[in-house]
Amino acid sequence: SVHKVFGEIGISNCFIWSLDNRTFYFADTLDKRVYRYDYDHRSGAVSNRRPFVEFTGNGGPDGGTIDEEGFLWITHFDGWRVIRVAPDGRIDREIRLPTSRPTSAMFGGPQLDTLYVTTAIWDSTPEQLKSQKNAGGLFALDVGVRGVPEPRFAG
């Protein structure tokens, strides 16, 4: 079935569940925030929305993932970076990228120890593309931590 969970969203991004399946993280790129919700794994219900991390400057949060330590990796579209956020909302690490528009992050490789980051060229000016030769590329980063396997859809 399909039903509306919440509305008034600018751009939906960053759908991440905590390792214990008790918290759901969701980003609204235009709002420049990642929100944290209580999550009921049995029913799929989300409740108790509260801000988790707020982005400043240009752009906002885009795609992301979670690592084996329960930290989130979130890309900053128009922000030239990917950040690692602790479960308490503290920014633990920032990795600057050579392109302004990272779009998503996901762990891969046989041991899930490579963080892959996608980037976009969408809506870039010719000048921006000239100065960002790697825009639209895929980056593979060794960040010293592993990801977790993604669950398969059961239905």
Catalytically active residues, by annotation: 62
Residues 6+ apart with CB under 8 A from 123: none
Give the separation between CA 64 and CA 14, rounded to whole angstroms: 5
Q: Which residue in this structure is represented by tokens 């969408």?
A: 122
Asked whether 60 and 29 are in contact (CB, 8 A), the reply is: yes
Asked whether 112 and 147 are in contact (CB, 8 A), the reply is: yes
Residues 6+ apart with CB under 8 A from 95: 81, 82, 83, 84, 141, 143
